[in-house]
Amino acid sequence: MRDKLPLGLLILMGVLGLTSRFIPHPVGEGMNAYLRDTLLRIISAFALILGLGNLLLRHTHKLEHKEPGWPHSIALIAGFVVTAVIGLLGGVSGEGPLPTAIGSFKFDITTIYNRVLIPLGATMFSLLAFYMASAAYRSFRAKSWLAALLLISAFVVMLGQVPLGGQISPIIPQISQWIMEVPNTAAKRGIELGITLGVLATTLKILAGIERSWLGSSK
Amino acid sequence: MNWAKLTQIDRRIIFITVGLAILIPLIFPIRMPVGTQRVTKHLFQAVEEIDPQEQVLLLSCDYAPQTEAENQPMTVAVLRHCFARRLPVLINALYVEGAPLLDLAMHQVMDEFNAHAKANADSILYGRDVVYLGWQPPPIVPILSMGRSIKGIYPVDYYLTPMDSLPLMTGVHNYDQVGLVLAITPLASPLWYVMYARTKFGVKVGAGCTAVCAPDFYPYCRSGQLLGMMAGMKGAAEYEELVENEYHPGGRRRATEGMASQSAAHLLMMFFVIIGNIAYFSTRRKS
């Protein structure tokens, strides 16, 4: 029963989704729209609660057992609790019952978003540039003619993606565009077709009940 | 010359030089002429071809603060283009994390236009010229459901105003009134629109993406499933320049300002790769 109920539900939902796509009858489409617009959103809401609970449990466990990197868990839990309290009780921009300003110093959710989350997020992402420069210097070697070809293509595309390339020679952006539109497109299409066929085969196997690893069993 | 030393440059030196290469052109701005790629021109043309009397543009964004530097200038440039043409805009967020960024972009461009407005007709008014639909999870739900009814999936806007009270929404029901969906993303949302909205409802789709995503979207531009694309910060700068040259809306062009910095960073990265290779081959020959 533990396996059969979720499997039956999956097959039912999968078949409903497929039939509404290929047989555009109003009844099927209406049912599909109801399942999507109502049921899927309810499941998403539960998934959010599940995710948040799981995140908190994981980090509380890490803290209790002093696992490596446990001080980071303190920052996560503190950040989680503080923003949740401010968000729930202080409102979006300080209209809630909780006071979210001391004089001219504001700490409502909008201020936290604009002054903390945006700079932190941008900082994390911009660190990539530094690591990429270091990694490219250490490992990007023209050890074979294929690696050399990749290196030359990378240089042309890098130059073509900045105005400087066009100033060095107007041909550079054109070659860069050609690399992106022709060899890149050919390779991407091949990869995409392969992935899609794989997805299709796996989907059919799941719908037919052959692939059951998602149920947590090895059968 | 001791080539072996060149293969072991301390990474702190690399980090400092990259930091300086990025910072100096930002502190002392150098404006570089930006050419235009074919895909950016096609996107600009696709927006130009929408009839403001008949249809609206749906600006669908799913970026978060992490890619704000690349994606936010795209949103701002597209909004300037639409407002300059008096083309009505609907905005929606596919992920919650970036939703306030769209609010910031919308108000920034509205303020820019309204600062020069002399009468109500010249102004950009919320509800008449632009509506921010807000966020509805998960992404596939609004993408598919907007084909049936936009008000059905967004009964209230981002500010909790009922849709029926917004003048723009009286004539906009579903994708039939949407001239183009422009998905601005660091992920794959333009492809979701191509897969679900374009194939099922026939709506036209364009993209604005981070540079790392751009290779994924070129096949779709070649096939015509995406009408055009802004690829990375360079694409955003190209779009900013196209809008500025055509309509002169003014305002700060952040992507264009960042081009000198990006040029310096790319050059420096190439320099390090060349140095690394010279040192590698020299030491290999010796050994």
Give dist(CA B162, CA B149) in Å, integer: 15
| B126 conformational bin, left if phi > 0, alpha if psi -120 to 50, beta if neither | beta
SS3 B125: coil
Inside any domain, residue A87: yes
Q: Are residues A60 and A75 in the same domain?
A: no
Residue A44 corresponds to which tokens in the numbers above? 């998403």
Give dist(CA B280, CA A140) in Å, integer: 10
Domain boundary (A47, A67, A87) is at A67
Q: What is the 3-state secondary structure (H, E, C) of B246-271?
A: HHCCCCCCHHHHCHHHHHHHHHHHHH
Q: Are residues A62 and A124 in the same domain?
A: no
Inside any domain, residue A83: yes
Inside any domain, residue A159: no
- Every domain of chain B and the residues it spans: 1-30+258-287, 34-252
Cβ atoms of B135 and B93 within 8 Å: the answer is yes
User: B159-176: string of b/e by CB count within 10 Å (b at 16+)?
Assistant: eeeebeebebbeebebbe
Alpha helical stretches, state H, A35-144 = 40-64, 70-90, 109-112, 118-139
Q: Does the predicted interface ipTM exceed a cut of 0.95?
A: no
- Give the single-character DSSP code of B181: E
From first to last of its 287 residues, chain B has per-residue pLDDT tens of 677 777 788 999 999 999 999 999 999 988 888 989 999 999 999 999 999 999 999 999 999 999 999 999 999 999 999 999 999 999 999 999 999 999 999 999 999 999 999 888 899 999 999 999 999 989 999 999 999 999 999 999 999 999 999 999 999 999 999 999 999 999 999 999 999 999 999 999 999 999 999 999 999 999 999 999 999 999 999 999 999 999 999 999 999 999 999 999 999 999 999 999 998 888 877 66
Q: Is the peptide bond before B138 cis (omega within 30 degrees of 0)?
A: yes
Give dist(CA B101, CA B283) in Å, integer: 51
Instruction: Name the residue facing B234 among A40, A117, A162 (closest C-beta).
Output: A162
Instruction: Name the residue facing A137 among B64, B144, B272 (closest C-beta).
Output: B272
Give dist(CA B261, CA A163) in Å, integer: 11
Sign of the four-CA dihedral A18, A20, A24, A27 = positive
Mean pLDDT across A31-39: 86
Domain boundary (A88, A108, A139) is at A139
The amino acid occupying position B224 is G
* Number of residues assigned to chain A: 219
- Taking CA B156 as the corner, what is the angle to CA B153 and CA B160, rounded to the nearest 5 degrees? 145
CA nearest neighbour of B229 among B92, B58, B41, B54: B41
Share above pLDDT 70 across residues of chain A, in percent, rounded to a whole number: 99
Q: Which residues contact B4 (CB under 8 A, 6 or more apart)?
A: B279, B283
Give dist(CA B174, CA B143) in Å, integer: 11
Give dist(CA A179, CA B218) in Å, integer: 10
Torsion of CA B118, B124, B126, B128, to 10 degrees: 100
The owner of tokens 């050419």 is: B35
Sign of the four-CA dihedral B163, B169, B172, B175 = negative
- Give the single-character DSSP code of B205: E
Domain boundary (A67, A100, A116) is at A67
A118-137: pLDDT as tens digits: 999 999 999 998 999 999 99
Q: Are residues A1 and A53 in the same domain?
A: yes
Q: What total of structural domains would you count in chain A?
A: 2
The owner of tokens 């700079």 is: A119
Sign of the four-CA dihedral B8, B12, B17, B21 = positive
- Global pTM reads 0.91
B42-92: pLDDT as tens digits: 999 999 999 999 999 999 999 999 999 999 999 999 999 999 999 999 999
For domain B34-252, give its CATH number from 2.115.10, 3.30.2420, 3.40.30, 3.40.50: 3.40.50
> How close is the nearest chain A Cα to the Cα of B215, in Å?
6
Q: With contacts defined as CB-CB under 8 Å, which chain A residues touch B18?
A: 129-130, 133
Q: Are residues A75 and A61 in the same domain?
A: no
Q: With contacts defined as CB-CB under 8 Å, which chain A residues touch B137?
A: 41, 44-45, 48
Q: Are residues A82 and A22 in the same domain?
A: no
Give dist(CA B29, CA B251) in Å, integer: 16
Range of the domain at A130: 70-139
Residue B165 corresponds to which tokens in the numbers above? 């009270």
Q: With contacts defined as CB-CB under 8 Å, which chain A residues touch B69?
A: 122, 125-126
Inside any domain, residue A150: no
Cβ atoms of B154 and B134 within 8 Å: the answer is yes
| DSSP codes, B39-104 | HHHHHHHHHHTS-TTT-EEEEEE---GGGHHHHHHHHHHHHHHHHHHT--EEEEESSGGGHHHHHH
Closest CA in chain A for residue B153: A37
pLDDT for the residue A103: 85
Q: Are residues A120 and A75 in the same domain?
A: yes
Instruction: Name the residue facing B65 among A36, A122, A162 (closest C-beta).
Output: A122
Inside any domain, residue A205: no
Q: With contacts defined as CB-CB under 8 Å, which chain B residues touch A113?
A: 100
Instruction: Name the residue facing B67 among A125, A134, A142 (closest C-beta).
Output: A125
* CA A111 to each of CA A78, B76, B132: distance values in angstroms, whole numbers, following the listed order: 18, 21, 20
